[in-house]
Amino acid sequence: MKKVALITGIAGQDGSYLTELLLNRGYDVHGVDRRSSLFNRSRIEKTRREAQKKGLVFELYYGDICDAGSLYRVISKSKPTEIYNFASQSHVAISFDEPEHTTDINANGVLRLLEAVRNFELKDCRIYQASTSELFGNALETPQTEKTPFHPRSPYGVAKLYAYWIVKNYREHYAMHANNGILYNHESPRRGENFVTRKITYSLAKIKAGDDHALELGNLDAQRDWGYAKDYVEMMWLMLQQEKADDYIIATGKLHTVREFVEKAAHVAGFDLVWEGDGTKEVGRDKLTGKIIIKVNPKFYRPIEPHLLVGDATKAKDKLGWQPKVSFENLVEIMMKADIERFL
Ligand code: GDD
């Protein structure tokens, strides 16, 4: 049977990597993307052109997870055997400013998608939901496993918790092959520029190229479990190849601070970084030029932060044979070098 994937949020980091993986594995790929006044398909444009040359099926549609009609239309046209849902308001800090909008996309959007699959009676269609470590929020244990109780700490996390449960409910009530991938932070040179890792590498590369503005960050001591997005999409695909649907944690199991990320990136970029001062007065200076290249700006602090989000991916490793390939150090290097290249 021909494998046909439908990817919502296809123009984002994960959508673009997964598209490449699926086209390489012989899938027809259909993708949904929101209309925006600025062209936002740069991550998939090259793949689209290459697919066209090779005569592969790679179709893009305008649509929105908040617009049920558009979902029905795309499903009816593509008749997917696998659906990957990446459509999301994915920025945790912005969810405090736009809680209702975030809920409509991240919670109700998932329900709309599941209802569309149910109403089309796509009994064999397998579904991947982009779930998140933010479900654990004020984590009750460290590291977290699939059995750790949830305690989200943001409108983003609460909306994603609804999505997690509705996916599980549709699996149990309607026997759908619906899966939650509980992914910890995953980064790459394709990461959006307002997530901390990419903000760091992008800004340091700009400074290296002569920009005079220091990089302004919030909480330097915030910790995350950062993996490589390209490693993680492999896992999403593996989840849908299993006979039984399930939920899996995908993580590296290692915590690092924002400060460590900055230090490693600065080193790769050729700065000699030293920290001076404390709290909001702390700065990072490049000893080679004497210039302040990092400042702290409380504007980027979160109203509340989650607590030690670090995942135990033993279940994914044992059941699916998955291993992350890229270490934290490699990840910083890949991202920093890619951004330096961009500004050459
Ligand atoms: N964005 C940002 N900007 N974060 C900063 C900054 C800054 O200037 N300074 C410090 N941080 C800290 C944040 O306070 C947070 O603790 C940490 O850096 C990571 O922030 P983000 O990169 O924005 O990611 P996130 O952890 O909030 O959320 C990401 O990962 C989740 C888990 O996979 C997003 O991709 C979510 O959609 C995803 O669910």
Say which amino acid occupies 334: I
| Nearest-atom index, ligand 1, CA of 219 | 10
Give yes or no for a contact between 253 and 225, defined as CB atoms under 8 angstroms apart: yes
Coil, strand or helix: which one is 217?
A: strand
Give yes or no for a contact between 116 and 176, defined as CB atoms under 8 angstroms apart: no
Q: Ligand 1 within 6 A of 217 CB? A: yes
Q: Ligand 1 within 6 A of 262 CB? A: no
By annotation, the residues acting in catalysis are 132, 134, 156
Assign 35 a pLDDT band (cuts: 50, 70, 90).
Answer: confident
Instruction: Calculate the dihedral angle through the C-alpha atoms of 194, 301, 278, 307, rounding to the nearest 10 degrees.
Output: -100
Ligand 1 centroid to 186 CA: how many Å?
A: 10
Measured in whole angstroms, how far is the alpha carbon of residue 82 from the centre of its chain?
19
Q: Ligand 1 within 6 A of 257 CB? A: no
Residue 166: how many CB atoms within 10 A of its CB? 19
Query: What distance in Å separates the CA atoms of residue 338 and residue 274, rounded to the nearest whole number?
Result: 24
| Residue with token string 């910890």 | 184
Taking only the tens place, the pLDDT of each residue in 159-197 is 999 999 999 999 999 999 999 999 999 999 999 999 999
Taking only the tens place, the pLDDT of each residue in 223-263 is 999 999 999 999 999 999 999 999 999 999 999 999 999 99
∠ at Cα 84 (339, 165), nearest 5°?
Answer: 115
Q: Ligand 1 within 6 A of 260 CB? A: no
Q: Ligand 1 within 6 A of 219 CB? A: yes
Probe residue for ligand 1, chosen from 134, 196, 224, 250 as the CB with the greatest number of ligand atoms within 8 Å: 196
Query: What distance in Å separates the CA atoms of residue 342 and residue 330, rounded to the nearest whole number?
Result: 18
Ligand 1 centroid to 223 CA: how many Å?
A: 9
Question: Beta strands 28-33 and 4-8: pairing type?
Answer: parallel
Q: Which two tokens stand for residue 217?
A: 């960050």
Quick one: pLDDT at residue 313? 97
Quick one: pLDDT at residue 342? 95
pLDDT at 279 exceeding the cut of 80 = yes
Question: Greatest CA span in the chain, whole angstroms?
Answer: 65
Measured in whole angstroms, how far is the alpha carbon of residue 293 from the centre of its chain?
27
Ligand 1 centroid to 171 CA: how many Å?
A: 30
Query: What distance in Å separates the CA atoms of residue 316 and residue 336, rounded to the nearest whole number?
Result: 29
Ligand 1 centroid to 14 CA: how many Å?
A: 16
pLDDT at 89 exceeding the cut of 80 = yes
Give yes or no for a contact between 114 and 127, defined as CB atoms under 8 angstroms apart: yes
Q: Report the percent of the chain where pLDDT is more than 70.
A: 100
Q: Ligand 1 within 6 A of 218 CB? A: yes
pLDDT at 38 exceeding the cut of 90 = no
Question: Beta strands 4-8 and 292-296: pairing type?
Answer: unpaired
C-alpha distance from residue 44 to each of 17, 31, 34, 252, 266 (Å) = 9, 10, 14, 27, 29
Nearest CA to 79 out of 52, 51, 59, 95 is that of: 59
The region of weakest confidence among 31-35, 96-100, 133-137, 202-206 is 31-35
| Residue with token string 């039984």 | 244
Query: What distance in Å separates the CA atoms of residue 170 and residue 168, rounded to the nearest whole number?
Result: 6
Q: Is the dihedral of CA 133, 308, 271, 277 positive or negative?
A: positive
pLDDT at 37 exceeding the cut of 90 = no
Nearest CA to 64 out of 113, 18, 132 is that of: 113
Query: What distance in Å separates the CA atoms of residue 192 and residue 257, rounded to the nearest whole number?
Result: 19
Ligand 1 centroid to 232 CA: how many Å?
A: 17
Residue 82, H or E segment: strand 82-85
Q: Ligand 1 within 6 A of 90 CB? A: yes
Query: What distance in Å separates the CA atoms of residue 204 and residue 211, rounded to the nearest whole number?
Result: 9
